[in-house]
């Protein structure tokens, strides 16, 4: 229709072309000026609850996020004692994800756990550090594959096996995963 309008009435088509051009430029400007935290799947860390649970600001609201595929020793469950290496694992996650850090969240088929927490693989921006995997590599977590969220289960298992063999983190400090802290 615009082409017909241009051919028959070139001056009448000018406002239509200008509006289309302005709309196009506005869309480009909006995409260029959007912050990484505004992009789909991106969030900003608000706080760290423990080694495998964080709070993020996502789409204007706070969400508790449980890192998929890994399990750090317990520190905050009132029904369980603080586990060996739990405080160190929590401190490590706090070191990786200080408040204000932009993260990219990737999901697997199951989006929430029974506690309503968002389930995600967490990547720190801008260096793309895969936080779930880093916890496993450094001996801060054991592997916790829960079907159907098993996309990286083999990778996490290999990282935990390597950390255990090298006696990194909790594998050097604790007799087993999840045992109560001593002292």
Question: Among this protein's residues, is 117 annotated catalytic?
Answer: yes
Please give the structure tokens belonging to residue 154: 């083999």
SS3 139: coil
- 10 Å Cβ neighbour count for 10? 10
Question: Among this protein's residues, is 74 annotated catalytic?
Answer: yes
Catalytic residue among 63, 74, 124, 134: 74
Where does residue 72 fall: left (phi above 0), alpha (psi -120 to 50 degrees), or beta otherwise? beta
Indicate the Cα dihedral angle 61, 97, 42, 120, nearest 10°: -90
Catalytic residue among 63, 104, 117, 134: 117
d(CA 76, CA 20): 55
Catalytic residue among 8, 11, 61, 66: 66
What is the set of active-site residues? 66, 74, 117
């Amino acid at each position: 229709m615009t082409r017909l309008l241009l051919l028959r009435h070139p001056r009448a088509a000018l406002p239509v072309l200008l509006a289309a051009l302005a709309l196009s430029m506005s869309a480009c400007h909006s995409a260029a000026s959007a912050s990484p935290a505004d992009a789909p799947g991106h969030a900003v860390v608000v706080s760290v609850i423990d080694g495998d649970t964080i709070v993020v600001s996502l789409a204007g609201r706070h969400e508790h996020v449980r890192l998929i595929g890994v399990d750090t020793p317990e520190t905050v469950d009132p029904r369980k004692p603080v586990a060996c290496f739990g405080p160190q694992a929590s401190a490590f996650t706090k070191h990786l994800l200080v408040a204000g850090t932009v993260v990219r969240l990737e999901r697997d088929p199951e989006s929430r756990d029974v506690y309503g927490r968002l389930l995600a693989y967490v990547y720190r921006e801008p260096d793309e550090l895969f936080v779930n995997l880093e916890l496993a590599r450094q001996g801060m977590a054991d592997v916790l594959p829960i079907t159907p969220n098993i996309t990286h289960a083999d990778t996490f298992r290999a990282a935990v096996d390597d950390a255990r063999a090298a006696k990194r983190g909790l594998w050097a400090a604790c007799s087993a995963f999840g045992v109560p802290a001593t002292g």
